Amino acid sequence: MNDSGLRRLVLPLVTIFLVLSIGGQDTYADSSPFVASVQKVSGMATVTRHGQTISAKVGLEIWENDTLRTGPDGSIGVVFNDDTLLSLGPKSVLVIDQFVFDPGQEKFSIVVRMLKGTAAYLSGLIAKLSPESARFETPSASIGFRGTKCLVEIGGE
């Protein structure tokens, strides 16, 4: 193959490689590994991710920075990767601010922020392995967990 033929073959391959590399980096930078999954849904429940609203359904992956929202007749139950259980009642809004569960590296953190509504929380392994790393925030308080369960109710619109 002469130089001209080689260039005609290599140039398109290099172009494809660059396009895929750049696109892959954008996707990787914007993506987040899933941290929980929806186990139960009743009525209206949604997940907002990167400005897009997704109807909640059993099996839906929940990512860090997702916002869980339920309607007047809605409820949603999720299980986190460390076996933390979280249930939201009607008219609730909760944000998954942070979730890190890496026992191999001894890195743990779960921070959820409840904006309104009701929630039932049963802590999982993060609260057992690293109690200072589990936090449930509300508009007026922050709750640390030490391997326990709680119910939270926050009024307002």
What number of other Cβ atoms are within 10 A of residue 80's Cβ? 22
- How high is the pLDDT of residue 150? 79
Same domain, 5 and 61: no
Same domain, 111 and 37: yes
- Quick one: 76 exposed, middle or buried, by C-beta within 10 A (0-12, 13-18, 19+)? buried
Gyration radius from the chain CA atoms? 21
User: Phi and psi at residue 44, in whole multiples of 5°?
Assistant: -85, 125
Same domain, 95 and 124: yes
- How high is the pLDDT of residue 146? 57
- How high is the pLDDT of residue 113? 95
Whether 23 has a pLDDT exceeding 60, the answer reads: no
Closest CA to 99 of 118, 79, 119, 115: 79
Same domain, 56 and 124: yes
Same domain, 134 and 75: yes
Tokens found for residue 1: 């193959």
Count structural domains, the chain: 2
Pick the more confident residue, 18 or 138.
Answer: 138
CB hemisphere CA count around 74 (13 angstroms): 20
- How high is the pLDDT of residue 20? 39
Comparing 4-8, 72-76, 128-132, which segment has the lowest mean pLDDT?
4-8
Whether 120 has a pLDDT exceeding 70, the answer reads: yes
Share of the chain above pLDDT 70, in %: 74
- How high is the pLDDT of residue 4? 55
Pick the more confident residue, 157 or 126.
Answer: 126
- In this structure, are residues 47 and 19 in contact, taking their beta carbons and an 8 Å threshold? no
Structural domain of 75: 33-154
Comparing 7-11, 26-30, 63-67, 68-72, which segment has the lowest mean pLDDT?
26-30
- How high is the pLDDT of residue 141? 65
Confidence band for 33, pLDDT divided at 50, 70 and 90: confident
pLDDT, averaged across the chain: 82
Closest CA to 149 of 114, 111, 118, 121: 121
